[in-house]
Amino acid sequence: MFAHVSVLLREALDLLKPEPGGRYIDGTLGGGGHGEAILTASAPDGLVLGLDRDDQALAAAGQRLHEFGARLITRQASFADVREVLDEIGWDRVDGIILDLGVSSWQIDAPERGFSFRSGGPLDMRMDRRQTLDARSLVNGASEEELTRIFRDYGEEPQARRIAARIAAERKSRPIETTDDLARLVEGAKGGRRRDHHPATQVFQALRIAVNRELDQLEKFLADGFALLRPGGRLAIIAFHSLEDRLVKNAFRKWSRACLCPPRALVCQCGWSAKVKLLTKRPVVPSDTEISANPRARSAKLRAVERL
Ligand SMILES: C[S@@+](CC[C@H](N)C(=O)[O-])C[C@H]1O[C@@H](n2cnc3c(N)ncnc32)[C@H](O)[C@@H]1O
């Protein structure tokens, strides 16, 4: 049930270079694939702090990685709040961090989690099921303008306005409760199926990003994520969405700059100095072989930095 094929596994490991005795953070433990590779490469005594917002993911990864015993510490938390977790477990800075953003295949495939238009279930989409906002409350409670913005900005859905209008009209007579209800409604608003993908693909992706405030989480981490690394420590991030990749690219560029003053400033007044070295001038992308074995990998972009 918890099968998830890790994306860019070898490439991420080559960049992180885990070593025995090191301390690492897997901020998106998920199925535990990257975590397992880090634990294996840092044997016999490297430690991994594995975070996930999803309690089911943590439980499954804990089972899979059982053999590593106390070398794996897990916590249900967002990577945006990793500083608090480090304080709690008494760690200061670490040797490496990996974030493999988005959702796992098994989350998508589990009907009761409500992520997919393919498997009928409640409109949920929460990674952390302790949170109150879910897709049902967003779809039935957000204004038509807000829904338009979500579908347009997070899903790049060209018919965002039309779909939001259809939802607003439909929910006047009865609430939209299930993934099937929403998928049918979007299909109706867009006028039928496409050959390459289901017409509700972008709307579902957009709602998932909004429900889980995925860009806010990433922005919070990227505000000063470099400070979690000891000198020589490395951070690798795999993004699947262009908005996420842009945030990562811009943060890494800023962190690597020697000065943040406007170009015309004669004397530096910003007090900034370079925090990292870029390890990937361009993003690393999956090979054709990986994409044909795992089509979910096709939009992945991996970027990495090393703390100075
Ligand atoms: C793509 S999967 C990770 C797969 C994992 N690297 C592997 O190889 O099996 C992403 C995971 O990150 C979790 N996640 C997403 N955003 C998160 C966040 N802000 N903080 C912690 N976990 C998050 C999801 O619940 C999901 O389990």
- Smallest CA-to-CA distance from 164 within 128, 110, 129, 202 is with 202
Q: Calculate how far, in angstroms, residue 83's C-alpha sits from the geometric centre of ligand 1.
A: 17
* Percentage of residues in the chain having pLDDT higher than 70: 98
The answer as to whether 121 is a domain residue is no
How many A from CA of 127 to the centre of ligand 1?
Answer: 9
**Which residue's CA is the closest to the ligand 1 atom numbered 24?**
103
Residue with the smallest CA separation from ligand 1 atom 27 is: 30
Domain end call among 159, 193, 211: 211
**DSSP three-state, residue 176:** coil
| Residue 68 forms part of a structural domain | yes
Task: State yes or no: pLDDT of 134 exceeds 80.
Answer: yes
Same-domain pairing of 240 and 219: yes
CATH number at residue 268: 3.40.50.150
Band of pLDDT at residue 264, cut at 50, 70 and 90:
confident
223-240 confidence digits (pLDDT tens): 999 999 999 999 999 999
Residues with CB under 6 A from ligand 1: 4, 6, 27-28, 30-34, 51-54, 57, 78-80, 100, 102-104, 127, 217
Per the domain annotation, does 227 fall within a domain?
yes
CA 53–ligand 1 middle distance (angstroms): 7
Residues 191 and 279 grouped into a single domain: no
pTM of the model: 0.96
Residues 90 and 230 in one domain: yes
Tell me the three state secondary structure of residue 249: helix
Tens digits of residue pLDDT in 136-187: 999 999 999 999 999 999 999 999 999 999 999 999 999 999 999 999 999 9
Residues 102 and 232 in one domain: yes
- Domain-embedded: residue 113: no
Q: 41-97: per-residue pLDDT in tens?
A: 999 999 999 999 999 999 999 999 999 999 999 999 999 999 999 999 999 999 999
pLDDT band of 266, cuts 50, 70, 90: confident
What is the tally of structural domains in the chain? 2
24, 18 Cβ separation under 8 angstroms? yes
Task: Report how far ligand 1's centroid is from the alpha carbon of 184 (Å).
Answer: 29
> Does residue 297 register a pLDDT over 70?
yes
Q: Quickly state the pLDDT bin for 38 (edges 50, 70, 90).
A: very high
Instruction: Assess whether 226 and 99 both reside in one domain.
Output: yes
State residue 193's pLDDT score: 65
Q: Which of 155, 180, 211 is the C-terminal boundary of a domain?
A: 211
Does residue 25 sit in the same domain as residue 54?
A: yes
- Give the distance (Å) from ligand 1 centre to CA of residue 79: 9
Domain boundary pick from 176, 191, 211: 211
Same domain, 201 and 220: no
Say if 39 falls within a structural domain.
Answer: yes
Q: Is the dihedral of CA 77, 82, 86, 88 positive or negative?
A: negative
- Owning domain of residue 289: 9-106+214-307
- Asked if residue 112 is part of any domain, the answer here is no
**Residues 276, 203 share a domain:** no
